[in-house]
A and B are shown apart, each in its own frame.
Chain A
Amino acid sequence: MDDFETATVTRSVDLDATPERVWDALVDDDQRSAWLGRRSRIDVRRGGPGKVTDDDGTVRHLAVEDVQPGRRLAWRWWPEQTGNCSTVEFVLEPVGPGTRLIVTERAAPGTTVAACRSAAGSGVSSALVCDRLTMLARVVGAAVVVV
């Protein structure tokens, strides 16, 4: 469905593969590069950065927004060249032995490349801070509560 009013494009495809197998194809860089554009690298965790190069050479930067293994992956991305920020959501549903994969891309209203970048930047840095605190906790053997 392409919907002018809600600015969304939705596609669904039924795959002869388990949700686990499809999930791997979404999150593994080498596997993803076989089907999403020419090449992609994504740090698949909330706030993680990524970069996808399309077949036509268009480079999109992205920030991961949601990771629910085997069920849902969402990111926000924006082409390097234009200010067209959008969100992408993958939902995996088991259908018999296979998987229905539903993809929704939505133009993000009221956002600019700068806004996308800063949203991504803050997500990345807070993820890094969390990682560092977790590492520190391991080193000192203490529990860390991130507020």
Chain B
Amino acid sequence: MKDRSSHESPICDADGDATGAPAPDARGPGPGRPLRWLSQLYAAHKNALESHLRRKYGPGPPEPEDVVQQTFTRLATLSEASVAKVDFPKSFLFRAAENVLISEKRRARTRDAHAANTRASGDAGFDFDPERVFVSRAELALIGETIQNMPERRRACFVMHRMEELSFAEIGRRLGISAPAVAAHVERGLADIESALAAAEVQGPRE
């Protein structure tokens, strides 16, 4: 894993900038594009995101509604240059929200343990860290290549699960295998991709 300081193109350069104003960047402050982008995202996906988090992680804590609010609040701190790099706003938003949720779980635990000084503004950088949320086009291409090279059944399970969003039971019915076998195929496919990404990182960036 690379060190944070080595990121060439951080999606979030707003560490410690929790004022909500887009940080200046190389291209100069934009004419409010991030906020317009954000309100469009909010209108389009707020409800779907909340029910997605509820279905996947349950009613909380943290409550899905709070996670959605926090995600948008923190997205407001992204610079225009960062926003411009986001090719797929919806999936970026969903991934970012999951990262916020994971951080909230940790923060709740450390609060429970009476640990002091959780850093609310600093964590925005962590949750939107390129290594955790942003996926470059080169990485996406490698992911696509890896899926194409999967054995047929693994690829079928993986694609049907990730892109058609079918339940494992439904995929199993269509392919004539059990639901746990579908889960095992999807896990294996995910392992293939992680391994391909790790190998590419060792060889150096493909960009």
Physical interaction between A and B: no
